[in-house]
Amino acid sequence: MKVLISTDIEGVAGVFHPEQVRAGNPEYERARRLMANEANAAIAGAFDAGASEVLVNDSHGGFRNMPPDLLDPRAQAIMGKPRYLSMMSGVDEGVSAVCMIGYHSRAQGRGILAHTINGFAFTRVFLNERELGEAGIYGALAGEYGVPVVMASGDDVFIEEHRPLFPHATFVQTKRATGQNSGISLSPTQACEAIRAGAAAGVAAALLQHNTAPTLVASRTALPPEGAGLAWGGPAQRPTPLPFVLSGTIAVRIQTQSPALADLFCQWPALTRLDGNMISFEAPTVEAAVRMINCLSAMSTMLR
C-alpha cells in the first residue's frame, strides 16, 4: 500500500513565530530540520504499519524546505512549485492513505500561526458554504481521488477544528496554543515518538480497509456530519476510514484581507464581487477550485 505524507511547518513542535517559517534566518534553518524530523517519524510509522511505498510532500511556502539529505531514504520526496495539486501532490500516484504532519488552524482561528494558504491575501475561505482551512481544503481534494486522511498532527486548535471533518483519523497533538505566537509544546523527541505511533495507527487502519472488502460503506456523496465517517466491515468489524468528499459544483467564497485585493482578483472574469472584500466563483471540482485559489494567491504578490 502506498502512503502520502503532506508536511507543513506551522504545526511542528517548537515552532511558534513567523521568523521560524520564513527562509533567510537562523530560526528557519532550525525549524526546517524539526519539520524534516517529524516527516521522518511519520515515514517510519507508515512503514511500521506495513506501507509498501511512501511519498513525502514538502507542503510549506516554496515547497522546498526539508533538506532532502535529512529525509528517510526509504521515502520519495515531492518538492518545488508550481504544481497543480499543491499540498496534496502525489495523491494522484495511486496512494491509499494521507497523513498530514505539522498542519495548523485556519485563518481567524485561535491556533498558532493560523492562516489559510496565504495569510497576506485571504481572511476566510468557504467551499460549499463550509469554512475550511488548508487541511479541510486539501483533505477534500484527497477525497476527490477517493483517498482518506488517516492521521494528522498539529496544535490543539487544529485538532478541534478538523476532527469533525476526519473523525476516523488518528490525531497527534504536538503543542497547545495560548496565542497566535505562543503555546506549550512537546519536546521534538516526544513529538516524533507520538507522530510515529500515530502514523502507524492511521496507516494500519487504512491497510485493513485496503486488504479487506467492507460489507457496509457509508455514503460518500455528502459532507460527513460530526461523528460520521466510519465504515464497518470485515471479520473483526473494525472501523475503517472514509474520504472527506464535497460533491457537485464547488461554490467558493473568499474574504480577502483588503478591498484592494478584491479589486485585483476580480480582474479575472470568472470571479464575482459580493462586497468590498468578499468574492466568489464556482468550480466543477475541488481540484479546479484549488488551482484557482492558488492562482489568486500568486496574483496577490502584485500588491505586496
| Amino acid in position 48 | D
Give the pLDDT of residue 240: 75
Q: What Rg, from alpha-carbon coordinates, does the chain have?
A: 18
Give the pLDDT of residue 214: 43
- Read off the pTM: 0.90
Name which CATH class applies to 2-211. Answer: alpha beta
Give the pLDDT of residue 239: 62
Instruction: Show which residues are catalytic.
Output: 115
Q: DSSP secondary structure string, 153-172? A: EEEHHHHHHHTTTSTTSEEE
The per-residue pLDDT for range 10-68, each reduced to its tens digit, is 999 999 999 999 999 999 999 999 999 999 999 999 999 999 999 999 999 999 999 99
Q: What are phi and psi of 135, to 5 degrees?
A: -65, -40
The per-residue pLDDT for range 236-268, each reduced to its tens digit, is 444 678 999 998 999 999 999 999 999 999 999
The per-residue pLDDT for range 79-124, each reduced to its tens digit, is 999 999 999 999 999 999 999 999 999 999 999 999 999 999 999 9
Q: How confident is the model at residue 209 (pLDDT cuts 50, 70, 90)?
A: confident
For residue 182, pLDDT over 70 is answered with yes
Residues of the chain with CATH 3.40.50.10780: 2-211
Q: Render the burial of 2-20: b for 16+ CB within 10 Å, e for the rest.
A: bbbbbbbbbbbbbbbeeeb
Q: How confident is the model at residue 228 (pLDDT cuts 50, 70, 90)?
A: very low
For residue 69, pLDDT over 50 is answered with yes
Q: Which of 27, 28, 106, 30 is nearest to 61 (CA)?
A: 28
For residue 226, pLDDT over 70 is answered with no
